[in-house]
Structure 1
Amino acid sequence: MPVVWLIIVGAAAGFLATRVMRVNLGVVETVGLGIAGAVIGGLVLRFLIAVTGALAGLVGAVLGAILLIWLWQIYMRR
């Protein structure tokens, strides 16, 4: 089923891309372009999610540490 889904998404993506870029291609070329675009876009998107996920973890850790320091300063002053 994933192969069929890739062909369907690739066909739609290729069709939209050729219309946006105003390029006239045949059906096979359009589907191939869309499938290749889906593979490349999927890899780039997974890379960006992994990078932003790591950065989000770092930001969350820093914010958590700041919160703990703030709470420690408030409650240890007493």
Structure 2
Amino acid sequence: MSVVFLVIIGAAAGFLATRFMKVETGVLQTVGIGIAGALIGGLVLRFIVSVLGAFAGLVGAVLGAMLLIYIWKSYTGR
């Protein structure tokens, strides 16, 4: 991601965040808040997705194993 794109996204995020939180800041502070928020939010979201991704993999594996046992029991008559 280019620096220009990061600054544009940071400015937009900072603008929205300062309006939602009803904070009056200058342009540089708004952009700084947006860029810092994007970094923090990005790290938190990546962590959550990785944890939930691993958990989803475990759930999928258990469900797949249960399906395999069901099919095995259905065909063997046990």
Question: Which whole-Å deviations, capped at 9, do the CAs of 1:14-42 have from their partners, x for residues lacking one?
Answer: 00000000000000000000000000000
Equivalence for 2:13: 13
Identity of counterpart residues, as a percentage? 69
The reply to whether residue 33 of structure 1 matches residue 36 of structure 2 is no
Secondary structure of the residue aligned to 1:15 is: helix
In the comparison of the two structures, how many residue pairs are matched?
78
- Please state how far the C-alpha of 1:2 moved relative to its aligned partner: 2.1
Q: Which 5+ residue runs of structure 1 have no aligned equivalent?
A: none
Q: Structure 2 length normalisation: TM-score?
A: 0.95
**Over aligned residue pairs, what C-alpha RMSD do you find?**
1.2
Residue type of the alignment partner of 1:12:
A
Counterpart of 2:43 in structure 1 is 43
Q: CA deviation at 1:48?
A: 0.8
List 4+ stretches of structure 1 deviating above 4 A: none
How high is the TM-score relative to the length of structure 1? 0.95
The residue type paired with residue 35 of structure 2 is I
Tell me what 1:64 maps to. Answer: 64
Which ranges of structure 2 fall in alignment gaps of 5 or more residues? none
CA distance in 1, matches of 2:46, 2:7: 20
